Amino acid sequence: MKNAIHLLHSQTPIQMESFIITTESGKIIAIDGGHREDARYFVDYLKKLTGEIKPRIDAWFLTHSHKDHVGAFFEVVQNMSDEIEIGKVYYNFPSVQFLLRGRDRNAAETAKEFYSLLPLFADKTCIVSGGDTYEIGEAKFEILYTTDSEIISNVTNNSSTVFKMTLGGKTALFLADCGAEAGNKILAKYVGTDMLDCDICQMAHHGQQGVTREFYEAVRPEICLWCAPRWLWENDAGKGFNTHVFKTVEVRGWMEELGVKKNYIDMDGTQICPL
């Protein structure tokens, strides 16, 4: 296998996030995985990629408790454990009570589901914190940010675990669904350093209403990863281009002005970004 980021295509019309990272030494790292409905494709893709009947995921990073990010993981551990071997599961979710105070009932229910399934993989878990560094084969992961109880707006998205990966001489920043408030905290913490300088950036919150333009100006990536189906990429509410309420088209304009050279987009099917 080669050093690469695989952006997996959504199996439903709804936005989701699912990445598989491969290394030259054969390590497999997963990030989120999408909805439960995406699990079958995720597993079959991994089998084809590795050529193994029961492939091993050495590390599985779960960014936050929204179903379009962790549903496939739930399906795998609950109903497909005989098809996948999991090494470590990395996460840091806020409490159910905090999510309820933030009025995100869907995320609270998803967190409850996560903890109800925890006995199935409790021995594999690693709760991450900002400042942690993990090495999985040749891949280095630096945790820049996790849930922050001081941020009480858009609580679940702003509780996304954000990390930088270095692999194959390239750096990639994974923002999950990070909002403006968390983005501003990250920006303030690392201003004046090179921590945010990255070749590749996964666009926050599927490329719309995530971090600010100032954040992306600090990152200045050459390549962007967009977990966006066509309707979201085009901000189409069914009435044509840019007729929906989302900010994808505006954010696309930012990145074009910042000189991004290539976009990998979910709407185009599963994409492979070599490192």
The strand pairing partners of 82, in sequence order, are none
pLDDT tens, position by position, 96-144? 999 998 888 999 999 999 999 999 999 999 999 999 999 999 999 999 9
pLDDT tens, position by position, 225-249? 999 999 999 999 999 999 999 999 9
CB of 226 closer than 8 Å to CB of 264: yes
CB of 183 closer than 8 Å to CB of 210: yes
**Per-residue pLDDT at 1:** 83
**Per-residue pLDDT at 14:** 96
How many Cα atoms occupy the beta-carbon half-sphere of 102 within 13 Å? 24
**Per-residue pLDDT at 102:** 85
Report all structural domains of the chain as residue ranges with CATH numbers, in order of start.
4-270 (3.60.15.10)
Question: Residue 46 and residue 41: Cα distance in Å, rounded?
Answer: 8
Question: Residue 189 and residue 175: Cα distance in Å, rounded?
Answer: 15
Q: Which two tokens stand for residue 100?
A: 């309820």
In this structure, which amino acid lies at residue 260? V
If 0-12 CB within 10 Å is exposed, 13-18 middle and 19+ buried, where does residue 120 land? middle
Burial 223-253 (b: 16+ CB within 10 A, else e): bbbbbbbebbbbbbeeeeeeebebbbbebbe
Question: Residue 15 and residue 246: Cα distance in Å, rounded?
Answer: 13
Question: Residue 166 and residue 200: Cα distance in Å, rounded?
Answer: 10
The ranges of the chain with pLDDT < 50 are none
Nearest CA to 128 out of 114, 105, 144 is that of 144
